[in-house]
Structure 1
Amino acid sequence: MGNERMATAALLALHEMSLRVPDDVSLVGYDDQPDLADNLHPRLTTVVLPHYEMGRAAGRIITSPEDPDLSGPLMVDCPLVERDSVGPPREN
């Protein structure tokens, strides 16, 4: 799922369909937006997008296009924040 706002809409839609998170569907968002992901019910598992580090990496690529260390993909750590919206697969 996209950012927490989209995940919130998905959570509401799933509720309207009588599906339970995480019992029936697991849900993960992106951004770890303050006062949102941790305050939903269930609390939303999310992937942190480190905006500062992402911008810094983009700046390095733009300002040093000949740098051989920047010729391939540049990875930025995006930590997973595990909360309550992901569960194990159901047994059929």
Structure 2
Amino acid sequence: MGQLKGDLAEKIQGIVSIDAQGDLTLQSGSKITLNVGGNFVVLHAGGIDIKGAAINLNSGGSPGDLLAPATPAILLAAASEGSMFVAHCPMKEKEKQA
């Protein structure tokens, strides 16, 4: 397991999908916030805060779909253009060191 000291912030200009074939655990020492528009769910030591224009409990709504991973053709096209398609590219690191 990796460990990061300090803060981590990511801004994604698209969709983020996580597909865990086993358990998925989010753990925080203070709180976890889900925020969409003016609606939010906050889990904290004192309880759970929910604010929403409408709250449907056991009625309405549906789960979202997972985004499919990029196909090899898309990855090959990006590679042939020379554009980076990973956050950390070992090849770029080697070029910088040379």
| TM-score of the aligned structures, taking structure 1 as reference length | 0.20
Q: Which has the higher contact order (CA 8 A, sep 6+)?
A: 1
Q: Of Structure 1 and Structure 2, which has the larger fraction of its residues in strand?
A: 2
Q: Which has the higher helix share?
A: 1
**Which has the greater radius of gyration?**
2
